Structure 1
């Protein structure tokens, strides 16, 4: 149960083993104008491994019965959380059971206007000011930074609390010719070609290619821990006065932290400006204010999922509501964003993300990759089109928690050889994870199955 109930959130407490509502608290008035609704059902794994499907469905039904004006079609997502530390009945009874309901207002033209005003207030509150930095500060050694860039393209895996990177060349080389230059990260064995075939180290076609060699060298890529490959070596440097953003008065700082940490250069920025994204897109404007146009980004694409087109009329790949421009001033970026917001609020929550990315690729073909400012609440509507993307997508996920990173964005990054970026972490080389390998993000666990990420559950005991 959340420590603090926020606007757009309702808590329905229920007894252990039953679906009747004991207590309702939170923003119940807001439910009357809610758009899509997201429900987290909390239960306890007691008796262990017992099926709780029927009970949990009854709990959702009780909530809908209490608020009859809510249509079942508004339930955009229902998650079930089984608390595993209630093995004893005495403890299970004391734990929270019931629903945590989160929602956003139904999007209208009037809401869009209000959100533009809120966006302007946030930008005004966080307007950058010059600050004096100390004469010296810790900074990464340039060699370490170069290593990070180099290894960013290598496959990674997360195991036993550490990140590992796949290093070293693969393949076969004849010892009778010029062998590859030695690299301390290479791992290899030397064999007579016939012995290698008999030991199963090479196949018949490889033996046919190298059978005339007196000996061959067989290279094997291998996993090495990230901390061994990139030891942290901070150095002292003199810093110039810098520009800082006042984040104490703004409701969220996810985008500011990610963009400051990643320091991407000359990227195309593709931003979702549909309903309730204003507190994130305001941060993008603040970031543009502190970074000269052109040094970090000047190509911007904003989309609103159809310019208020009725949901029933939206066609995959032809939904529209996408506006783009090469901007030379902050004012141009702000005007493009405001104009896109006022033309539509999104309607249904799944968005036309891929259509926007395809548009961006065509509009700005010289960009090496795209940075997508994405709404974690909104699933990708047009996933069927992502095979048309040809450039990596670096997804900045807004509104994610340790329980609910949207799997669509993990798979988008995997499909495009891109990356996913959260408030406190960056997930690179998702495409390097092999079938059956596991990815843990916060308390979520995902496994690669048939080439895509599949959610396997939550670790509620992980503190």
Structure 2
């Protein structure tokens, strides 16, 4: 404040903005504010973007080849005489003698479901999700033979996912959504696709009966979001343990059923196809338009009849 006179009468008046009254100079002066020195800032190291699971190095042992399987996941293609998720075990892993005998032509007792279904349907932009647990060797061999012999058809497959339900993980350690043992590979290199399938088979045979089908399907959709035809080559004798994840599946699933016996198609696989707006395919039949079947109505597949209820299809 400073004194200002008006008609010889002094009164207090504030200094203008930015000025302050100086008792020494008896006038308003500019405020002198010392500038504090700026402390040097430590340089920030650039954050490396994680391109894929192998970008930080190769965790595979014994000469194994690291293959990315998503942004932060990977699997290993092992050299001969090694197996395991990181090629950490010496040996051959799961016995693949059935698969090898079929591939080598010494055993013609394999399932023709895959070649029959894919031959009678003109699907394109295919994501193939394949169960390769132990009991599926005859069907997996059919997949192998079909891939080797049907080049004109295999070009329509863009991505493969092979799953073995946890890489021989203890049953008690299997968690819905993160069981593991899921191997994904782009279809542009057939030799790598075949090696990936064999690695998935060597590293785990499934253990208990329920399997991580939906986890594998979700992984495939994430890796190939533009794939339009999603086919799931499923073990008819095993019910998916992770059906609670089915509401996350955003595309219709075409379920190809292997190992169908006199008991008929597993109704849970029929429901998987139905609830995703997909279809079900056996050796001889293509069951489509499931959503058009009203509650209470029946459908016959093979020698079995199924009735739609409010919660899904059941065997009659």
Instruction: Normalising by structure 1, report the TM-score.
Output: 0.47
Structure 2 counterpart of 1:290 = 149
Aligned to 2:275: 415
2:125 counterpart residue number: 266
Equivalence map 1:44-83=2 (5 Å): none
If you compute each CA radius of gyration, which structure gives the higher value, 1 or 2? 2
- Distance in 1 (alpha carbons) for counterparts of 2:155 and 2:110: 27
Q: Is residue 398 from structure 1 mapped to residue 261 from structure 2 by the alignment?
A: no
Give the 3 Å change call, closer, same or farther, for CA 321–442 of structure 1 in structure 2. Answer: same
Question: Which residue number in structure 2 is paired with residue 388 of structure 1?
Answer: 248
Shift in Å, 1:120: 2.2
Report the equivalent of 2:33: none
In the other structure, the counterpart of 2:307 is 447
Alpha-carbon distance, 1:403 to partner: 2.9
Query: What is residue 275 of structure 1 aligned with on the other side?
Result: 134
RMSD (Å), alpha carbons: 2.0
For residues 400 and 111 of structure 1, do their structure 2 counterparts lie closer, same or farther at Cα, with a shift above 3 Å needed? farther
Aligned to 1:253: 112
Deviations 1:256-307 (A, max 9, x none): 2222222322200000000121111111111111233862213000000011
Q: Secondary structure at the match of 2:176?
A: coil
**1:124 matches 2:104:** yes
Q: 5 Å matches for 1:35-434?
A: 113-114=94-95, 116-125=96-105, 249-292=108-151, 295-434=155-294
Unaligned 5+ runs, structure 1 = 1-108, 127-247, 457-463
Q: 3-state DSSP class of the match of 1:336?
A: helix
1:111 CA drift (Å): 9.4
Unaligned residue ranges in structure 2 (runs of 5+): 1-89
Aligned equivalents of 2:207 and 2:91: distance in 1?
13
Q: Secondary structure at the match of 1:113?
A: coil
> Structure 1 residue 110: deviation in Å?
8.6
Distance between the aligned counterparts of 1:339 and 1:362, measured in 2?
A: 21
Note the alpha carbon deviations across 1:45-100, whole angstroms, 9 max, x for none. Answer: xxxxxxxxxxxxxxxxxxxxxxxxxxxxxxxxxxxxxxxxxxxxxxxxxxxxxxxx
**Offset, 1:112:** 5.4
Q: Name the one with the larger helix percent.
A: 1
The alpha-carbon deviation at position 451 of structure 1 amounts to 4.1
**CA apart distance, 1:331:** 1.0
Q: Deviations over 1:379-433 (max 9, x none)?
A: 1111111010001111110011243210011000100111111111110011221
CA contact (8 A) 1:270 1:300 kept: yes
Instruction: Tell me the distance in 1 between the aligned counterparts of 2:150 and 2:226.
Output: 21
Distance of aligned partners of 1:265 and 1:290 in 2 relative to their CA distance in 1, 3 Å threshold? farther
CA distance in 2, matches of 1:110, 1:123: 21
- Corresponding position of 1:73: none
* Mapped partners of 2:91, 2:257: distance in 1: 26
Question: What's the TM-score once normalised by structure 2's chain length?
Answer: 0.67
What residue number does 2:297 align with?
437
Q: In 2, are the aligned partners of 1:317 and 1:352 still within 8 Å (CA)?
A: yes
Query: How many residues of Structure 1 are paired with residues of Structure 2 in the alignment?
Result: 226
Residues 269 and 373, structure 1, Cα contact 8 Å, conserved in 2: yes
